[in-house]
Amino acid sequence: MKIALIKYNAGNIQSVAYALERLGADFVITEHPEEITKADKVIFPGVGQAHTTMQFLKDRKLDEVIRSLRQPVLGICLGMQLLCRYSEEGNTGCLGIFDETVKKFEADSQHKVPHMGWNQVEFMANGLGSFVQQPSFYFVHSYYIPVNSHTLARCEYILPFSAIMKKDNFLAVQFHPEKSAAAGEALLHYFLNSFNVRA
């Protein structure tokens, strides 16, 4: 099984690659549409700013490539947010897989922004709750996706938000599985071995 890790200006590609290496996955880091399209599964990482990142993807026609994928896809952090319809970060039109709006956290006296550190997630009744024993993951983000009908697991910071979402062949996580110790590895393992939805 070949995994394509989409290469673009995301900050965490190397970390995701090392995590895949530790799991013994067969993967390639690539920006070539053909290589991405023919892979068995695709990982769409992401650390950065929504607007500049979408522009980068559009310039390389990677936006069309990602939209057209039929094999299992995992979006991570900004990768998850860019799979939504629109982001308040830089008023950015995104890929529209999930018909959701990405909103900015408003800091208050009890909560700092970004939401940075380890937080627990709670699986919804329809979730994949059994794949991880201690669902605590590492988050770093200032924007969030509200809980919606695609939410598989939610997390709470200032308000409840989507930690994991799924729609058809797209799985998306707000946290960084590549930096979330055993729980993160369990999630990546789930995606590599058990998430086999094709559209």
Partner 1 sequence: MLTKRIIPCLDVKGGRTVKGINFINLRDAGDPVELAAAYAQQGADELVFLDISASEEERKTMHKWVRDVARQINIPYTVGGGINSVADVAALLEAGADKVSINTAAVERPALIEELANAFGSQCIVVAIDARKIHNTWTVHTHGGKRTTDKKLFTWAKEVQERGAGEILFTSMDHDGTQQGFAIDALQKLNMLLHIPVIASGGAGSPGHFLDVFVLGRADAALAASVFHFGTIKIPELKHFLHQKNIPVRL
Residues annotated as part of the active site? 77, 176, 178
Whichever of 115 and 150 has its CB closer to partner 1, that residue is: 115
Please state the closest distance from residue 104 (CB atom) to partner 1, in A: 13
Q: Which residues, other chains included, contact 4 with Cβ-Cβ below 8 Å and sequence gap of 6+?
A: 27, 28, 30, 35, 36, 39, 41, 42, 43
Q: Which of 123, 143, 157, 170 binds partner 1 (CB under 8 A)?
A: 157
Q: Is 134 in the site for partner 1 (CB under 8 A)?
A: yes
Question: What residues numbered 29-88 form the site for partner 1, per CB under 8 A?
Answer: 47-49
DSSP string across 78-144: HHHHHTEEEETTTTEE---SEEEEEEEPPPBTTB-SSEEEEEEEEE-TTS-GGG-SS-EEEEEESEE
Residue 45, classified by CB atoms within 10 Å of its CB into exposed (0-12), middle (13-18) or buried (19+), is buried
- Interface with partner 1 (CB under 8 A), residue total 38
Q: Which listed range, 36-44, 64-72, 111-119, 164-172, lies at the site for partner 1 (CB under 8 A)?
A: 111-119
Q: Bridge-partner residues for 166, per DSSP?
A: 171
Q: Is 184 in the site for partner 1 (CB under 8 A)?
A: yes
Q: Is 128 in the site for partner 1 (CB under 8 A)?
A: no
Please state the closest distance from residue 64 (CB atom) to partner 1, in A: 26
Q: Which of 30, 55, 119, 148 binds partner 1 (CB under 8 A)?
A: 119
